[in-house]
Structure 1
Amino acid sequence: MATKRKVNNLLALAVLSAMIDRPKHRYEIAQALRQRGKEHDMDIKWGSLYTVVQNLEKVGYLEIVGSERDGARPERVIYQLTEAGRAELIDWTRELVAVPEPEQHRFIAGLSIVSVLPPDDVVELLDKRIDALRHIIDGARAEVDKVTAMGLPRLFIVESEFTLAMLNAEAAWARSFRDEIADGTFPEVDWWRRVHAENLSIAEVIDTVERGMAEPEPS
């Protein structure tokens, strides 16, 4: 089970990771996160960055170590990672790697109610998804190849490898589901088609399903 964190959003974790090498002011933190492409790995809302930094300082994970002024610009407060902040970064990372947590996925939401669509429509829509995934996969693979060619150690691109693997798995599953519907091997596809062909009401569909589930197994 996930630990309840004092500052419990992934932007806070990203900030802690950006602070591990040296003290920074908030603009430098944002620069570091963008340079490392953290917005692709975590749900980063840039407008919340200043608030998150303040909250991390309030709970003792960051501390103010100075300030600087660049010409007429406002003074910039410089923060550094505390020992408590370093411990939180390590503990949080250990949890994320070890503890699986259910994550919402828009595709799963659609699949959970896909029966409202006729099977042939679903085949067409899955074709579109598979085609879109192919382009995304090609782009992700090209990015991995690019940073690998630049000599970046594999340790720093394992999250991209995982993303690519998950995209390939999703595309393979969507292709298999699409083919089962199209060739008629999906178990309930005939009943699914009849529901839409005969324009059965939701109440009739639910009643049919419930009666089918209640029927005893043949002896």
Structure 2
Amino acid sequence: MAKRRTVANPLALAVLAEMLVEPLHPYEMGRRLKEHGKDRNIKYNRSSLYMVVEQLVKAGFISQQETVRDTQRPERTVYAITDDGRREFFDWMRELVATPQQAYPPFGVALSLLSVLPPAEAGELLTARLAALGAEIDAIRAGITAATGDGLAWVFLVEEEYALALLEAEHRFVTGLISSLQEPDYVRAWHEIFGSMT
């Protein structure tokens, strides 16, 4: 069972990871998260980043180190990870890597209710999804090829490889599902159960 975290937002984990290297101010944290591609896996904006920084300070995982004054920019507070923050980061990371956790993705919800849609319409919608998945797969493959061509080490692309594996598995699944929806026995059974409701 997953441990209840004081600050459970995945953005907090990414912020702590960036701060393991050196103290940072929130603007620089945001820039580095984007530069390192974390915005592809973690949703955030400027206000959510500042909110997470406040939560991490309150939890004692980071602390103000200094305030930097620059004539061309507003005053910025630099934060450093604390010993508690370092322990929290590594404990949380070990849990996430070792322990599978149940997620409730929207597509899973749709699949649980798919039988309500007419088979032909469900097939059309899934065919559209298949095209979108194919485009995502192509984009990720191109990104991985470009990054490795530029000399980026494989370990910095593992989340892209994981995303690619999930998309390819979903593509195979959806392809099979479309075939199953076209089976005459299924179409006949659907019309017997739901035909009068449409």
- Normalised by the length of structure 2, the TM-score is 0.94
- The runs of 5 or more residues in structure 1 that have no matched partner are 202-219
Aligned equivalent of 1:191: 189
Alignment of 1:1-219 (within 5 A): 1-71=1-71, 73-184=73-184, 188-197=186-195, 199-200=196-197
Q: Distance in 2 between matches of 1:188 and 1:46?
A: 49
Q: Distance in 1 between matches of 2:46 and 2:173?
A: 34
Q: Deviations along 1:92-118, whole A, 9 cap, x unmatched?
A: 111111111111211111111112211
Note the C-alpha offset of 1:67.
1.2
Higher mean Cα deviation, 56-65 or 158-167?
A: 56-65
Q: Distance in 1 between matches of 2:6 and 2:189?
A: 51
- The runs of 5 or more residues in structure 2 that have no matched partner are none
Q: Deviations along 1:38-63, whole A, 9 cap, x unmatched?
A: 11122334321112112211222112
Q: 3-state DSSP class of the match of 2:74?
A: coil
Q: Distance in 1 between matches of 2:73 and 2:168?
A: 48
Q: Deviations along 1:59-109, whole A, 9 cap, x unmatched?
A: 221121111112153311111111211111111111111111111211111
CA contact (8 A) 1:10 1:44 kept: no
CA contact (8 A) 2:119 2:190 kept: yes
Q: Distance in 2 between matches of 1:30 and 1:16?
A: 12
Larger Rg: 1
- Equivalences, count: 198
Q: Distance in 2 between matches of 1:49 and 1:174?
A: 36
Q: 3-state DSSP class of the match of 1:69?
A: strand
Note the C-alpha offset of 1:194.
2.6
CA contact (8 A) 2:16 2:86 kept: yes
Q: 3-state DSSP class of the match of 2:70?
A: coil
CA contact (8 A) 1:126 1:174 kept: yes
Q: Distance in 1 between matches of 2:92 and 2:60?
A: 16
Distance 1:66 1:110, change over 3 A: same
Q: Give aligned-pair identity as a percent.
A: 39
Runs of 4+ off more than 6 Å: none
Higher mean Cα deviation, 57-66 or 40-49?
A: 40-49
- Normalised by the length of structure 1, the TM-score is 0.85
